[in-house]
Amino acid sequence: MALDDSHARPPGPPGAEGPGERERPLTDDEVLACGRSLSQVWEEAQETPPTADPHTLSCSRCGEALAALAALRAAARTLRAVDPPRLRALADRVMKTVRSEARFGRLLPLADPDQNLRITESAAAKALRQAADTIPGARAGACRLAPAGQGPGVGVTMTLVAALDLPLPERADRVRHSVLSAAGRALGMAVTTVDITVVDVLTPSPPPPLAQPRPSSEG
Amino acid sequence: MTEGTGVPPPLCDLPDRLLAVRAADGDEDSFAVLVRRHSRPLLALASCMLGSVQDAEDAVQDAFVSAWRRLPEYHHRAEFRTWMYRITVNRCLTLRSRRPPPLPLDAVPEPAAGDAWSAPELTAEQAAAAAALARALGELEAGQRACWVLCEVRGLPYKEIAEMTHTNEQTVRGRLYRARRSLQEAMTPWR
């Protein structure tokens, strides 16, 4: 894989970039009348911020090539429109299928005296994750439950993403306490252990925004 | 809930990675957030790949359902977004290869593009340019089309496009160049 071959090439000295300068030139590249290769001119426009070397700025051939690219990008912008009602309908159809293929996990005992009440692992895990999430600076990831021995006891294994403004053992203790409390009060489940693994650091920033189209080179 | 705010923060505040882990555990609500978050860009991608809204919706729906089924085996090595795009691109390529070859262009009065990406605020000229672009896109080799759409319509970096299309950055660059050259030639009358 040529992953180290980043498209953000180091800017060379102006004028030193001839058409044969690229390490692996395209076999079907087009050489403009000014001597630059079309792929090179377009690649430069792709860089953010676009490389603005003196040649490209003053050359009419490069200017034409860039105008063609800009026109193409302007037309491409019209392809981004999506109809919101259809989007909602699509999401509804997907979730209808997903819910019909629900993964419930194993059945786990609740701590009722007769020991004949059961709950699915996925339903219990949802409640326990929510309990963990109520602790500021903590978010639950995976949550697995398994019977602990023959009785109604259940062991919980949970991964956690946690902020670092508090020592991790302290925060994990708060989460454990919240999980144990919710298991007893909300579910009526006898949780015997809550094993917590902190797998990542919770950063205070919101989730990354969806990919925005690159700013186009014109304007 | 003895501590904290008493109310868990909304799921839509969670990052993809955490939602994907929960969804892999069988949490449908977390998956629903991922679906809402990603369906718009995926649908735009599939529309450009397939040239029809109906086909695009089918492809995206199939891709999400397939992702739900495969989540327990997904080990989160790639970003969820990258993984999801990859499934969708594959789905689009499969759908296209199964379809009969397109009609010759002169047999089609106006491309279905007006339906695929209709945006009522477009001027007649812009709409015509969009239709021409859609037609030219349909003529491209599938790999070139995928790279061009991911780059120019979705604005993704080469590295991610390479991961999504199972290739390397050099190939992405070459496909992008060829796609642009074909498309800009097709678009020349509209400039």
- Tell me, yes or no, whether B95 and B13 share the same domain: yes
A178 with B177: Cβ contact below 8 A: no
B162 with A3: Cβ contact below 8 A: yes
- Tell me, yes or no, whether B21 and B70 share the same domain: yes
C-alpha span between A41 and B138 (Å, rounded):
26
- Kindly give the pairing relationship between strand A118-120 and strand A190-201: unpaired
Sort B100 into a burial class: Cβ within 10 Å, 0-12 / 13-18 / 19+.
exposed
A75 with B4: Cβ contact below 8 A: no
C-alpha span between B164 and B179 (Å, rounded):
17
- Tell me, yes or no, whether B40 and B86 share the same domain: yes
Cβ-based neighbours of B124, under 8 Å, separated by 6 or more: none
B187 with A126: Cβ contact below 8 A: no
Has residue B23 been placed in a domain? yes
* Side-chain half-sphere CA neighbours of B11 within 13 A: 23
Which domain-ending residue is among B99, B128, B157? B99
Burial A33-67 (b: 16+ CB within 10 A, else e): ebebbbbbbbbbbbeeebbebebbeebebbeebbe
Number of domains in chain B: 2
Q: Among partner residues A3, A68, A178, which is closest to B184 by beta-carbon distance?
A: A68
Instruction: With beta carbons under 8 A apart, name residues in chain A contacting B184.
Output: 68-69, 71-72
- Tell me, yes or no, whether B145 and B86 share the same domain: no
- Tell me, yes or no, whether B66 and B141 share the same domain: no
Which domain-ending residue is among B99, B134, B166? B99
- From the centroid of its chain, how far is CA A31? 40
pLDDT surpassing 50 at residue A106: yes
- Tell me, yes or no, whether B25 and B82 share the same domain: yes
C-alpha span between A60 and B36 (Å, rounded):
46
- Tell me, yes or no, whether B85 and B154 share the same domain: no
Q: Among partner residues B7, B13, B32, which is closest to A207 by beta-carbon distance?
A: B13
Measured CA angle at A143 (ends A138, A146), to 5 deg: 140
Interchain contact B8–A (C-beta under 8 A) = yes
Rounded to a whole number, what is the distance in Å from the CA of A110 to chain B's nearest CA?
19
Q: Among partner residues A75, A82, A161, which is closest to B133 by beta-carbon distance?
A: A75
Rounded to a whole number, what is the distance in Å from the CA of B12 to chain A's nearest CA?
9
Which domain-ending residue is among B99, B134, B154? B99
A140 SS3 class? strand
B152 with A43: Cβ contact below 8 A: no
In chain A, how many H helices and how many E strands?
A: 6, 5
CA distances from A10 to A7, A24, A29, A59, B176 (A): 9, 16, 21, 22, 21
Has residue B112 been placed in a domain? no
Mean pLDDT, range A169-181, rounded to an integer: 97
Residue with tokens 């700013």: A215
Q: Among partner residues A2, A42, A125, which is closest to B168 by beta-carbon distance?
A: A2
> What are the structure tokens assigned to B167, written together?
């290739």
Are the C-beta atoms of A6 and B173 separated by less than 8 Å? Answer: no
Has residue B78 been placed in a domain? yes
Has residue B110 been placed in a domain? no
Has residue B20 been placed in a domain? yes
Interchain contact B44–A (C-beta under 8 A) = yes
Residue B149 belongs to domain spanning:
119-191
pLDDT grade for A193, boundaries at 50, 70 and 90:
very high
CA nearest to A203, candidates A172, A171, A173, A161: A161
- Tell me, yes or no, whether B54 and B15 share the same domain: yes
B112-147 confidence digits (pLDDT tens): 444 444 445 567 777 788 788 888 888 899 899 999
Interchain contact B40–A (C-beta under 8 A) = yes
Q: What is the mean pLDDT of chain A?
A: 81
- Tell me, yes or no, whether B71 and B14 share the same domain: yes
Interchain contact B76–A (C-beta under 8 A) = no
Give the domain CATH number at B139: 1.10.10.10
Which of B3, B30, B115 should we substitute to test contact with A (largest number of A Cβ atoms within 10 Å)?
A: B3
What are A60-66's contacts with CB under 8 Å, separation 24+?
A61/A32, A61/A33, A61/A34, A61/A36, A62/A32, A62/A34, A62/A36, A65/A32, A65/A38, A65/A41, A66/A41, A66/A42, A66/A217, A66/A218
- Phi and psi at residue A46, in whole multiples of 5°? -75, -30
- Tell me, yes or no, whether B22 and B51 share the same domain: yes
For A122, name the nearest residue in chain B, comparing CA atoms only. Answer: B26
Q: Taking chain A, what is the end-to-end CA distance rounded to the nearest angstrom?
A: 35
C-alpha span between A32 and A19 (Å, rounded):
9
Which of B22, B91, B150 should we substitute to test contact with A (largest number of A Cβ atoms within 10 Å)?
A: B22
- Tell me, yes or no, whether B90 and B33 share the same domain: yes
pLDDT surpassing 70 at residue A142: yes
* ipTM of model: 0.79
Tell me the residue type at A43. E
C-alpha span between A86 and A90 (Å, rounded):
6
Which of B156, B181, B183, B188 should we substitute to test contact with A (largest number of A Cβ atoms within 10 Å)?
A: B181
For B17, name the nearest residue in chain A, comparing CA atoms only. Answer: A141
C-alpha span between B148 and A76 (Å, rounded):
10
Has residue B2 been placed in a domain? no
Q: Among partner residues A7, A87, A207, which is closest to B39 by beta-carbon distance?
A: A87
Mean pLDDT, range B147-173, rounded to an integer: 91
Residue with tokens 């359902």: B65
Has residue B106 been placed in a domain? no
Give the domain CATH number at B47: 1.10.1740.10
Q: What is the mean pLDDT of chain B?
A: 83
Q: What is the pTM of this model?
A: 0.77
A80 with B153: Cβ contact below 8 A: yes
B65-124 confidence digits (pLDDT tens): 999 999 998 877 788 999 999 999 999 988 876 665 444 444 334 444 444 444 455 677
> What are the structure tokens assigned to B98, written together?
């199964």
Please give the pLDDT value at position B83. 94
Sort B142 into a burial class: Cβ within 10 Å, 0-12 / 13-18 / 19+.
middle
A40 SS3 class? helix
Q: Which of residues 97-116 of B touch A (CB under 8 A)?
A: none
A22-43 confidence digits (pLDDT tens): 345 677 888 888 888 888 888 8
C-alpha span between B19 and A122 (Å, rounded):
14
- Tell me, yes or no, whether B176 and B140 share the same domain: yes
Residue B15 DSSP label: -
Burial A83-114 (b: 16+ CB within 10 A, else e): eeeebeebbebbbeebeeeebebeebbbbeee
C-alpha span between A160 and A181 (Å, rounded):
17
Has residue B130 been placed in a domain? yes
